[in-house]
Amino acid sequence: MTLETFPLTAAPSMKASKTPINAAPPSGDTLAIVSAFPPATGSLNEYGLHMVKALILRSDVKKIIVLADRAKGPIVELDLGPKVEVRRVWTFNSWVSALNILNALKATGVDRVIYNLQTASFGDKEIPAALGLLTPMLSQKKGIASGVIMHNLIDAVDLSKTNIGGNKARQKLVQLAGEHITKLMLKCGYMTVTLDSFADILKSKYKSKNVFMVPHGTFERESQTPLPSLEDRPNRVITMGKFGTYKKLERTIYAVQVLNRRQNHAPIELVIGGTDHPAQKGYLASLEAQHASDPNIQFHGYVAEDDVEDFFTSAKLAIFDYDSTTGSSGVLHQAAIYGTPAAYPLLGDFIDVTEREGLSGFHFTPLDQDDLIRAISEGLETPLKAQNIAYENLAVSQSVTLQTVMAIHIRLLQKLKAGRLLRLRTEDSDAECLSL
């Protein structure tokens, strides 16, 4: 699919907004975004932030109202300029998030909204998670043009690798409920997914006519300074995510320790960024205590948005050792834009990203400890190959940015409001549809 590149205006000056939190939106085109949003740390918060930063650059979006998740403690909101207003209206694992969002949408008076979601956006408990996912359907029924960016699907998740993996009856119940929720979600205005395989599921199984495949997109770097070459970086590898379920660290830690025992190179430092998966609280603390005596294993904790670039550009290799996948890997895209090659398994959605988007790396057999060790060793000991992969991934990442992705969503919302969205499905491909 060839994506249209849309003209974008320069960013406005980033002065502090003086708009009262409950003030009516200004005249002109106003857009609502429903997403986890930093400095709160909910899933997809960084993606939500970069969506907003891309929308700020558009002259046809006069005001952006972010309906965000409430943080667990006191926070200082990011200063994103006068175009952006953040209202924290919903709570993770609350049963009434949908009601709170709908009330907030009514209060803003907006007529279009984009939801940035994955299956556990509103909770890691089944009922609040499901109720929250009904919000796009409900806002569409209230006459608000409602688009959804869906980063994963229950149908594409291997539930045996999740926190309910030992309970087959519960897996079956979650699967059936997930299918029903998916049907209801598809009653929104439109939905985009980040992988071809997701679009295939929704079109074949659910017969959906309002689904489009739009790539994940890559974030813009804040800094304009050149990226450091791999040879100028310390002998460090990194990994980042929410750990404890299908993303575990035991194999990665063991692999680094094995390579360090070989003593034919400078010690390899492993820096682990991220937090526990909500379903596995205490996982990282337990590992940190277990490896407290190893000076080469560092637990960074949550990587704040301002620290992401330094986190990636201080490493020669990023490692993503997953038992399964649940969607297009955001951290793999982040590694690409910061010139950090990655080691990852050719597994599930990683295959889609590799084949569909053209990203590459040092691949290893899923769940294979020895092959993971080999891939890390190759990534560190073949510097020319690693640097070429970094250059190639950087070029790929710059071809589809969040500005392009947001331009497509603005176009889809325009078609939806004009009642012309379903006509798009008569075209031969999503690309042709989106260029109309």
DSSP state letters, 64-123 = EEEEEEPPSS--------TTEEEEEEE-TT-TTHHHHHHHHHHHHT-SEEEEEE-TTSS-
The residue-averaged pLDDT of 46-61 equals: 94
Higher pLDDT, 146 or 221: 146
| Res. 23 pLDDT band, cuts 50 70 90 | very low
pTM, two decimal places = 0.77
Q: Alpha helices, DSSP H only, in 238-280? A: 250-262
Mean pLDDT of 24-49: 83
How many Å apart are CA 189 and CA 186, to the nearest integer?
8
- Distance in angstroms (rounded) separating the CA atoms of residues 33 and 115: 6
Higher-confidence residue: 154 or 63? Answer: 63
Percent of the chain residues topping a pLDDT of 90: 59
List the domains of the chain with CATH numbers.
30-217+401-434 (3.40.50.2000), 230-397 (3.40.50.2000)
Q: What is the pLDDT of residue 256?
A: 96
Strand order from edge to edge, sheet including 84-90: 84-90, 63-69, 30-35, 112-117, 145-150, 190-193, 211-213
In one-letter notation, the amino acid at residue 397 is S
Q: If you average pLDDT over each of 21-30, 131-140, 275-284, 318-327, which comes out highest?
A: 131-140
| DSSP letter (8 states) at residue 394 | H
Note the pLDDT tens digit of each residue in 278-305: 778 899 999 999 999 999 999 998 888 8
> Could you tell me the end-to-end alpha-carbon distance of the chain, in angstroms, rounded to an integer?
14
Residue 165's pLDDT is: 63
Identify whether the C-beta of residue 157 lies closer than 8 Å to the C-beta of residue 205.
no
The more confident residue out of 346 and 285 is: 285
pLDDT, tens only, 239-265? 998 888 878 999 999 999 999 998 777
Angle, CA 274 vertex, CA 269 and CA 275 arms, to 5° = 130
